[in-house]
Structure 1
Amino acid sequence: MGDGPYRAGAPGTEIRLLSEWPHAPRLLAVTVTSYDDATGRILDADILLNGAEHELAFLEGDEEDEDGARYDLGAVLSHEAGHVLGLGETDADPLATMWPRIGRGDTHQRSISADDEAGIGEAYRDAVLAPAAGCAGNR
């Protein structure tokens, strides 16, 4: 999470929880992306979380939130990561990560659906992929 005031287009990728929300109050999060018009290359992508209007938390499994007040942070971040990758909203499948609405306590949007996979496949159909790299843990 970034420190200090948020500046769109500043170098680096950030996830910010904002206590003062400059967007529509109903929005849980917003992704701000800058890219090179000539190449389409993403230069910067930031995910802004609405900490002023909504309670966000990593909820356990598929169980409902006890008081029904919180939104699943995993689902919200998965949806916004889709925007970072260039995906838009979809009305084709209410179980899709890119469905435009997330209900309180819903965790299913953490996992991508066939519709989400098709969107990524279409967006990156002609992309040349770099060799796979991983992240190893200590033993």
Structure 2
Amino acid sequence: MSSRDWIDREEQWARGNWMDTFSLLGQYLQTKLDRPIGIETRVNGEVRQDSDTPDLFFDVPELISTASDFFTLHPGDVIATGTPPGTASETVEFEKWGEEVSDLALDPGDTGEIGYRHLHRLPSLEARDETPFGTTARER
């Protein structure tokens, strides 16, 4: 989950992607790469994203190798790879608070969930607190 208005406003990704409740990690880690890791996101029950690790621009071993060139990796470290197609930022539909907004953007009360095939689904999230700087989410 991310707050595109913060990303667009500050022209950097950190604040818009790392707010509380935005980095959805579950209680399981898949440490063997013996099969593709699939990810699916839904908003109000509708599939928005559906992809697998073979669809990544760089494969997982290359991501690990490149990351280890720049920082020390430890067991349990997480390398965030980005997101597959299907985000609200891909379509601009209308203007709100002077900014272009997608009709796919979350509105207060919308529910979202993310799941990893062969692992589990994370608890549903509900969008709340509509402000000029974004909609935050909380666990449902």
Superposition TM-score, scaled by structure 1 size: 0.24
Question: Whose relative contact order is higher, 1 or 2, with alpha carbons under 8 Å and at least 6 apart?
Answer: 2
Structure richer in strand, relative to its length:
2
